[in-house]
Amino acid sequence: MNTTAHEYKTGWKRGLVETRISLTTPSDMLGYLVPLAIMVVVLAFMRGGSFEDAPVSLGSMSMPGIIGLNLAFGGMMTLVGALVMDRTNGTLLRAKSIPGGMTGYLVGRIVSTSMFLLLNTVVLLGVGLIVFDGLEFGSPDRWLLFVLVVAMGLISMLSIGAVLGSLVNQPQNMALVVMPFMGVVAISGIFYPIAALPEWLQAIGQVFPVYWLGLGMRHALLPDALSAVEIGDSWRTLEMFAVLAAWAVVSLAVAPRLLRRMSRRESGSSVAQRREKMQQGWG
């Protein structure tokens, strides 16, 4: 128990150090600020938009989707990319050589990724509340619901990212994760209710956590009257938390096993081979 606590404590400290380094590295900050600035500008341009007889503006209707997609894409793809690149540059091999190093490494990555995503969420929410009217965010139950959806969304997407990152062994293979994820986003209804899609696409979209993350965000931020355009004319709060929790539990159970298997296969020769392939790809 003391060993496990020490590993998690070390991982927490590692995450804080990684966050501080990123905040003081110009290239890292540019990669963080540019996408955030683009999202803020998009929100600003949607300020005066409207959609038929909707009780809120087009910008207000898009806010939950933008925040949800930021959590889904950032949580999953950031961790996948970090695991893949750290396998290539030998970081995982070095972590493997330290007792409890893999646990500390993974916890550190989760902590640093979560901090940046939470900062993104706070900025986007602040801009949305200032720019748009009609967002229902003035009561304690809405605040609590928003926090719970963000927490469950982060846990589920980060755990899925850990699973997928342990399966992708080359940076060139990242497209095998990105392209299917974009397909899931397209049918997830994260920006709009999926009731307008064919029923078979609705069924597929509801399998994945991206749909439920978007639904939870709409429930937390939009008037209850808009639930009438959702499946079953309801926010389906219990189902939303149940599906996100199921994905998180399964992924958290599978991820450590896959990461342990991945770490056992790490060696100096495998790292050298991946570096050579990456250099050949660069020409």
User: Higher confidence at residue 87 or residue 215?
Assistant: 215
Report, as an integer, the average pLDDT of 144-168: 92
List the domain boundaries for the chain: 2-47+56-266
For 219-247, the pLDDT digits (tens) are: 999 888 888 888 888 899 999 999 999 99
User: Higher confidence at residue 274 or residue 164?
Assistant: 164
User: Higher confidence at residue 55 or residue 28?
Assistant: 28
pLDDT reading at 174 higher than 90? no
pLDDT reading at 283 higher than 60? no
For 200-224, the pLDDT digits (tens) are: 999 999 999 999 999 999 999 988 8
pLDDT reading at 67 higher than 60? yes
d(CA 262, CA 282): 25
Average pLDDT over all residues of the chain: 84
pLDDT at 243: 95
pLDDT at 236: 92
pLDDT reading at 41 higher than 90? no
Q: Which sign does the torsion angle of CA 42, 138, 53, 72 carry?
A: positive
SS3 letters across the chain: CHHHHHHHHHHHHHHHHHHHHHHCCHHHHHHHHHHHHHHHHHHHHCCCCCCCCCCCCHHHHHHHHHHHHHHHHHHHHHHHHHHHHHHHCCHHHHHHCCCCHHHHHHHHHHHHHHHHHHHHHHHHHHHHHHHCCCCCCCCHHHHHHHHHHHHHHHHHHHHHHHHHHHHCCCHHHHHHHHHHHHHHHHHHCCCCCHHHCCHHHHHHHCCCHHHHHHHHHHHHHCCHHHHHHCHHHCCCHHHHHHHHHHHHHHHHHHHHHHHHHHHHHCCHHHHHHHHHHHHHHHC
C-alpha angle 248-254-259 in degrees, rounded to nearest 5: 120
pLDDT at 91: 76
Neighbours of 83 (CB within 10 A): 26
For 91-150, the pLDDT digits (tens) are: 777 777 777 777 788 888 889 999 999 988 998 888 888 888 778 887 889 999 999 999
Query: In the chain, pLDDT over 90 holds for what percent of residues?
Result: 27
pLDDT at 242: 95
User: Higher confidence at residue 270 or residue 38?
Assistant: 38
User: Higher confidence at residue 126 or residue 260?
Assistant: 126
At 183, phi and psi to the nearest 5?
Answer: -65, -40
